[in-house]
Chains A and B, each alone.
Chain A
Amino acid sequence: MRHLSLKYITLVVAMCASALLSLSIGPRQDVFLSDLLSAFATDELSINQSIIFDLRLPRTFVAILVGANLGLAGMILQAITRNPLASPSILGINQGAALGMTLGLVFPSIILLNLDFMAILGALIAGALTFSFANSAKNGFNSLRLILAGIAVGAFSYAMVRFTFILDDDLAREVIGWTSGNISASNWQDVKPLIVWTLLGIISSYLLAHKFNLLALGEAASQGLGANPKLIQFMGAVIAATLTAITVAVAGPVMFIGLVIPHFCRRFFGQDHRLLLPATMLAGALLMSLADIVAKLINFPYETPTGIICALIGAPYFLYQSLTVKGAKL
């Protein structure tokens, strides 16, 4: 147990360190962390204080929350499908959210509630489609079917998103910038709903964490232990889709964090989802804020969208994973 707490502490420290590092990096090199501290003491913000408080701090928050949400969503999806290759971007959920969001931008009249809700709606529909196509009555979720269905749903959604490009040039520019997963323009307005949804996600998935452990034993066994596998899968999918959608609404479709992080954590924290849950969130936040640092530095002083850095890290990992996945899982 002491061993485990040591690992958690390491993760927390690493995450805080990378968050602070990302705060102190930016095109303006004369802005330091001390400006943040002094910003709390004064009423009137100087330019340096404003840069770190209004521009960099919300951005780092968004990176951390997006990473945590995607890590959690990936863990839930892998738990309910019992498939190591499941993740929001591979199952088409990311792209579905992007489609919902884009439709909302193009046809403001069809927006229900607000844009975030459109993204959630798109993600839920895409996830439902992928799962219903992949779920065969005989042998549950088959890896290749799941991934192929996800690719088809994702390709369809993306084709529709691209279709909207032709309608309006300015809109196209906006959507392209946003679909590449750019968080450089985040502000405090983005952070607030993200925090609320993240808290809801944590609470609801913590309530389900034990059921995920039961589900890992197989559907029949979990039923014998008093769980309702179909209900758990449904609720898990809804939580995962919502968490993904809310990150897509803020940061655009960020690929592969949901795939890489749960694997990484399972290697160090074991299979118990109650212990995995905080670990995946912390590790997701760590990876995303590291990616944010790389995004700021790789083409200094210009920025590269963080989502692309994640894809460049995550895609080779997917290759590695697809080479090592056990034959029994297919």
Chain B
Amino acid sequence: MSQSVKQQNIRPQWQADLYVYFRSKSFVIQVVLFVLVIVASVWSLMVGAVSIPVQVTINTLFDLDGDQQKYIILRSRLPRVVLALMTGGALAISGAVIQAIIRNPLASPKIIGVNSGAALFACLMIILLPDIPASYLPLAACAGGILAALIIFFATFGRNLSGVHLALVGIAVGFICESGVDYILVALPTHELATPLVWLTGSFWGRSWTHVYAVWLPLCTMAAVGLTMAYRLDILHLGAETATGLGLNVQVQRLILLLIATLLASISVGVAGVLGFVGLMAPHIARRLVGGNHRLVLPASALVGMLLVVLADGAGRAIFPPIEISAGILTAIFGAPFFIYIMLTSSQE
């Protein structure tokens, strides 16, 4: 009798986990974030040189009866918004992973020099091989990002350096790459200056579906792999010795995770330019919202990253139409004070 009652109550563990999760505060927060991302995306489709009413936007998106604005929304703004969502999510996941590996709240793809390396190689490609279509830019950017990461890895290899040193070396590599970018910019004839310059400030200007097709598969794959490895980040976060004690091959896992983070950041730099501070801000905001568990932090920071970049892109178009302000400029203007705030509040070891 009692046994049958027990059997009724026992559910598989995953069901129980899911049940607990659906009733938790973090689930509600994720849903709210998701809704916010949708709302922000629709808003971003509406604003710009030609502002489009919300009814028309929705008509166009879902092909309903009534007024539509197919050309502007489907050809020009929708690819931008999709790209903003993907790059924002990618940068945020990359930042969260790097912060967990280096165990420093101030780490981010920009600080460890990956962004600048990717920018340098993308610039080189624009200069040296001007005939190659722009959809190859992410490849060049990846090569640069990985090279920067490798330099940092080998420069610190075997020296038993702390996270602080790692950050310093990353900053130095970033400086080298940035001076290279500056050299290329100035060595250019003036009329070719505009393209790389707009691109460097982190802009979605003139992005089309070709760009989306070029990056969606690698970005989504990497993001998925990163999300499934979240629990290893929790273990790594306990420290190298504890993680080894729990049966994790720390060096290999670190390398894999760093590779994923580098690729995510480089690809998004390759397609959208340098969007500073997104990789820093998003994980912090996410951690404030859902706590320190990386299985929750990674998706939450991806959502926050999407929200930030879509808002920056939309606001860039909405502030002074028809002039556009690059999304990267806005993220830097809001991100730098945030960075300092994090620096002042994070406890020093």
Contact with B along A290-323 (1 / 0, CB 8 A): 0000000001000011001001101110110111
Q: Whole-angstrom distance between the alpha carbons of A323 and B167 in the complex?
A: 11
Chain A interface secondary structure, helix, strand, loop or mixed?
helix
Contact of A133 among B162, B178, B183, B344 (CB under 8 A): B344
Asked if B182 and A180 make an inter-chain contact with CB atoms under 8 angstroms apart, the answer reads yes
Asked if A319 and B155 make an inter-chain contact with CB atoms under 8 angstroms apart, the answer reads yes
Nearest chain B residue, comparing its CB with the CB of A158 = B332
Q: Whole-angstrom distance between the alpha carbons of A159 and B175 in the complex?
A: 16
Contact with A along B134-163 (1 / 0, CB 8 A): 000000000000000000000100010010
Asked if A319 and B179 make an inter-chain contact with CB atoms under 8 angstroms apart, the answer reads no
Asked if B343 and A145 make an inter-chain contact with CB atoms under 8 angstroms apart, the answer reads yes
B82 interface residue (CB < 8 Å to A): no
Q: With both chains docked as a complex, state the minimum distance between the C-beta of A67 and any C-beta of chain B, in angstroms.
A: 17
Interface residues of B in 303-349 (CB under 8 A from A): 320, 323-326, 328-329, 332-333, 335-337, 339-340, 343-344, 348
Asked if A304 and B183 make an inter-chain contact with CB atoms under 8 angstroms apart, the answer reads yes
Contact with B along A149-183 (1 / 0, CB 8 A): 10111011011101100100000010010001000
Q: Whole-angstrom distance between the alpha carbons of A314 and B179 in the complex?
A: 9
Decide: A319 near B169, CB < 8 A? Known: A162-B326, A163-B333. yes
Q: With both chains docked as a complex, state the minimum distance between the C-beta of A252 and any C-beta of chain B, in angstroms.
A: 11
Asked if B176 and A319 make an inter-chain contact with CB atoms under 8 angstroms apart, the answer reads yes
Count class of interface residues, chain A: 35 or more
User: With a CB–CB cut-off of 8 A, which chain A residues contact B172?
Assistant: 315, 318-319, 321-323
Asked if A322 and B171 make an inter-chain contact with CB atoms under 8 angstroms apart, the answer reads yes
Contact with B along A255-280 (1 / 0, CB 8 A): 11000000000000000000000000
Asked if A323 and B155 make an inter-chain contact with CB atoms under 8 angstroms apart, the answer reads yes
Count class of interface residues, chain B: 35 or more
Nearest chain B residue, comparing its CB with the CB of A179 = B182
Asked if B186 and A142 make an inter-chain contact with CB atoms under 8 angstroms apart, the answer reads no
Q: With both chains docked as a complex, state the minimum distance between the C-beta of B175 and any C-beta of chain A, in angstroms.
A: 4
B168 interface residue (CB < 8 Å to A): yes
A221 interface residue (CB < 8 Å to B): no
User: With a CB–CB cut-off of 8 A, which chain B residues contact A145?
Assistant: 343, 348
Asked if B329 and A159 make an inter-chain contact with CB atoms under 8 angstroms apart, the answer reads yes
B236 interface residue (CB < 8 Å to A): no
Nearest chain A residue, comparing its CB with the CB of B337 = A156
A3 interface residue (CB < 8 Å to B): no
Nearest chain B residue, comparing its CB with the CB of A312 = B179
B185 interface residue (CB < 8 Å to A): yes
User: With a CB–CB cut-off of 8 A, which chain A residues contact B343?
Assistant: 133, 145, 148-149, 152
B50 interface residue (CB < 8 Å to A): no
Q: Whole-angstrom distance between the alpha carbons of A107 and B155 in the complex?
A: 46
Nearest chain A residue, comparing its CB with the CB of B325 = A166
Contact of B197 among A156, A176, A299 (CB under 8 A): A176
Nearest chain A residue, comparing its CB with the CB of B189 = A302
Q: Whole-angstrom distance between the alpha carbons of A321 and B171 in the complex?
A: 12
User: With a CB–CB cut-off of 8 A, which chain A residues contact B178?
Assistant: 311, 315
Asked if A308 and B186 make an inter-chain contact with CB atoms under 8 angstroms apart, the answer reads yes
Nearest chain B residue, comparing its CB with the CB of A302 = B187
Asked if B167 and A159 make an inter-chain contact with CB atoms under 8 angstroms apart, the answer reads no
B106 interface residue (CB < 8 Å to A): yes
User: With a CB–CB cut-off of 8 A, which chain A residues contact B324?
Assistant: 166
Q: Whole-angstrom distance between the alpha carbons of A210 and B3 in the complex?
A: 88
Q: Whole-angstrom distance between the alpha carbons of A158 and B277 in the complex?
A: 14
B165 interface residue (CB < 8 Å to A): yes
User: With a CB–CB cut-off of 8 A, which chain B residues contact A147?
Assistant: 168, 171
Residues on B close to A: CB < 8 A? 106, 111, 155, 159, 162, 164-165, 167-169, 171-173, 175-176, 178-180, 182-183, 185-187, 190, 193, 197, 201, 276-277, 320, 323-326, 328-329, 332-333, 335-337, 339-340, 343-344, 348
Besides the known contacts A162-B326, A319-B155, 11 further A-B residue pairs in the complex with CB atoms under 8 A apart: A139-B348, A142-B348, A145-B348, A148-B339, A155-B332, A156-B336, A163-B333, A166-B325, A305-B186, A321-B172, A325-B168
Provide 12 A-B residue pairs closer than 8 Å at the C-beta atoms, listed in order of the A residue. Answer: A147-B168, A151-B171, A152-B339, A156-B336, A159-B329, A159-B332, A180-B182, A311-B179, A319-B155, A319-B172, A322-B165, A322-B168
